[in-house]
Structure 1
Amino acid sequence: MSESRESESGDSKLPKIPEQQEEPPQNDAAADFETAIDSAGFGMFNILLLVAAIPAAMGTVYETSTMSYILPSAECDLQLSLLDKGILNAITYAGMISSAVMWGYLADTKGRRNLLIVGYAADTVCVLGGAFSQNRIQLMVFKYLGGFCMSGPFAVLMTYLTEMHGRKHRQRIMMMVGIMFSIATLTLPGLAMLILPQTWDFHVWTLKLASWQVFVAITALPSLLSFVLFFFFPESPKFLMSKGRNQEAMTAFKIIYHLNSRKPKDSFPIKLLANEVIVPVKKHKEGKDVPIEIKLPMESAEVQDAESQDAKKSSLRSGFTQLRPLFTKPYLGLSLWVYLLNFCVLLGCTVT
């Protein structure tokens, strides 16, 4: 009897042992970015982000398209020649091309949100500078600087939006962004029809403003609004995790989850994020540095600080390393073909 009682008591204790062993791994399992962003859900935060993206898309379209509308009005005021009009039409794109590499490097080192804020603030200043221009040289300089500043937000906006949505909604978001750019393209001629035919003549101190300058000044409003709105959004968790800043990434995930589910931030199901820092590991046989993605839990803040310091030291060198393949085989030939095809497409659109 005593043996049976002991066996029964022993059997009753056995199920408790595996339960205690199974629960901690489920609660403490490190989640990667895709798992965490899917757990944050889709809701109010994503809707607010799309609303903020509307003026951002409008600012991008306005920066690159206003010249074609104001040249007939500004031709007499600035005494533009045929060559001047051609330069004004192209100089914005020259600024975008000359700064594309720089903005790509800054987006991967300084963050998406910071670049959007700085880019749209700088574009607002450049657009207003173009609106107050009193001669063709000033207008050319500000249009070049406007293209130089807009190249970053134009590309990073897409990246930021995709990284703030889960896999289920990511493709639909890109379709909606395309619709935003189309709507922005349609609003510009309507705005030009309302303002440019007016015979306005304003004097601000020693500056003389015509209707076309008022039109250019109004097109700065979307960039100004985007500059203000992006202050209220967090940094991309994808970028933060790639830099080892998992605590900040967790805070961003909790904000998204809180707005989408209307639940407390502490109820976010993910409790630990994986380390997605890409660490170059040297192969001794070949003597090459191969980036290997390590996904392990972050154990302490000291590890994050050490990795962030190493990333800052090697960021410039890694940026040039990433550009090197564009100028070597086999990518050089393929890149030249793509550039040529794109040039022919744009040339055909211009001729037609």
Structure 2
Amino acid sequence: MSKKTENVSIDDALAETGYGKFNYFVIVISGMILINVILECTGLCFVLPVINCDMDLSYQKKGILGAVSFLGMICSSHLWGFLADTTGRRNVIRPTLIAGYLVTVMSSFSPNFWTLTILRFVNGFLLSAGSATVFAYLGEFHCNYLRNRALMSSAFISAASAIFFPLSAWAVINQNWSFEIPIIHLTYTPWRMYILLVGTPGLICGLSLFFLPESPKYLLSIGKEKAAMEILRKIYSINTGKSRNSFNT
């Protein structure tokens, strides 16, 4: 790293990368991660009346299903925060999003109450990684001047999308179809499809993170200056359309 680079703060370097396509992309993905957290935690509440027809749930069991994802998040939030600070933000968010979707797929095939309860707890346990880490990940791609704008934009995306959650549940759950899966002796119905669909944003975000880098600020904090500089050059090139080599901060 050049002497000039050593005298420039990470905030100044981020400011020099500009504000453009890369920033918009990371804001949208962060907003979708938040959408995924909300959907996965609350989506099951929309289908509880219908699940009752298949599993004959008491009010107590309905309450457990409605709360168990939040219990999983509470149990794991400190763990993911620690891992994000020791192994990297993206290294925590990406695998947990993909694993969370796989758990959601299994949830849609749950044969009984206890299987569904355990899987939703595990899903909540994994969901906490995104909710606990995404704001740090997003914020560390922006300088102080732009950070609040980026965080508010991602939060707005998730909040504005929330008004469509009941509509999506109504559109899917009210359908009148079913089919038998003889191998596992299960009747697949619309509420199971809805559980599968609410996890889709998580899968999309998990795959999208293969195209996003680790936080340059985090890399700098663990002594990987060259890797951090390479990411800053990449962001600069995407935002400005100029060559990476012209980024001389």
Place the TM-score, normalised by the shorter chain, in its bin: over 0.9
Aligned partners of 1:242, 1:157: CA distance in 2, in Å?
18
Q: What secondary structure is seen at the aligned counterpart in 1 of 2:168? A: helix
> For residues 103-114 of structure 1, what are the structure 2 equivalents within 5 Å?
103-114=80-91
Contact kept, 8 Å, 1:116 with 1:153, in 2: the verdict is yes
Task: Give the structure 2 partner of residue 132 of structure 1.
Answer: 109
Aligned partners of 2:190, 2:73: CA distance in 1, in Å?
27
Q: CA deviation at 1:32?
A: 2.0
Q: CA deviation at 1:264?
A: 0.6
Task: Give the structure 2 partner of residue 228 of structure 1.
Answer: 207
Aligned partners of 2:130, 2:235: CA distance in 1, in Å?
22
Counterpart check, 1:241 vs 2:220: yes
Aligned residue-pair number:
246
Task: Give the structure 1 partner of residue 51 of structure 2.
Answer: 74
> Structure 1: which 5+ runs fail to align?
1-23, 271-352
Q: CA deviation at 1:54?
A: 3.6
Contact kept, 8 Å, 2:31 with 2:157, in 1: the verdict is yes
When normalised by structure 2's length, the TM-score is 0.94
> For residues 1-352 of structure 1, what are the structure 2 equivalents within 5 Å?
27=4, 29-204=6-181, 205-206=183-184, 207-270=186-249
Cα deviations across residues 20-75 of structure 1 (Å, max 9, x unaligned)?
xxxx96x4653221111111111111112123234322211111101210100001
Q: CA deviation at 1:114?
A: 1.2
The amino acid that maps onto 1:52 is I
Aligned partners of 1:200, 1:66: CA distance in 2, in Å?
20
- When structure 1 is superposed on structure 2, of 111-120 and 177-186 the one drifting more is 177-186
Q: What secondary structure is seen at the aligned counterpart in 1 of 2:187? A: strand
Aligned partners of 2:59, 2:5: CA distance in 1, in Å?
68
Name the structure, 1 or 2, with higher relative contact order (CA <8 Å, separation 6+): 2
Contact kept, 8 Å, 2:96 with 2:129, in 1: the verdict is yes
Contact kept, 8 Å, 2:11 with 2:142, in 1: the verdict is no
The CA RMSD measured in Å over matched residues stands at: 1.4
CA, structure 1 residues 254+81, in 2 after alignment: closer, same or farther (shift >3 Å)?
A: same
Contact kept, 8 Å, 1:39 with 1:269, in 2: the verdict is no
Aligned partners of 2:211, 2:142: CA distance in 1, in Å?
17
> Structure 2: which 5+ runs fail to align?
none
Larger of the two Rg values belongs to structure? 1
Q: What secondary structure is seen at the aligned counterpart in 2 of 1:66? A: helix
Contact kept, 8 Å, 2:177 with 2:190, in 1: the verdict is yes
After TM superposition, what 4+ stretches of structure 1 lie above 4 angstroms from structure 2? none
Structure 1 vs Structure 2: percent identity of aligned residues?
30
The amino acid that maps onto 2:124 is G
Contact kept, 8 Å, 1:131 with 1:213, in 2: the verdict is yes
Q: CA deviation at 1:209?
A: 1.0
Task: Give the structure 2 partner of residue 12 of structure 1.
Answer: none
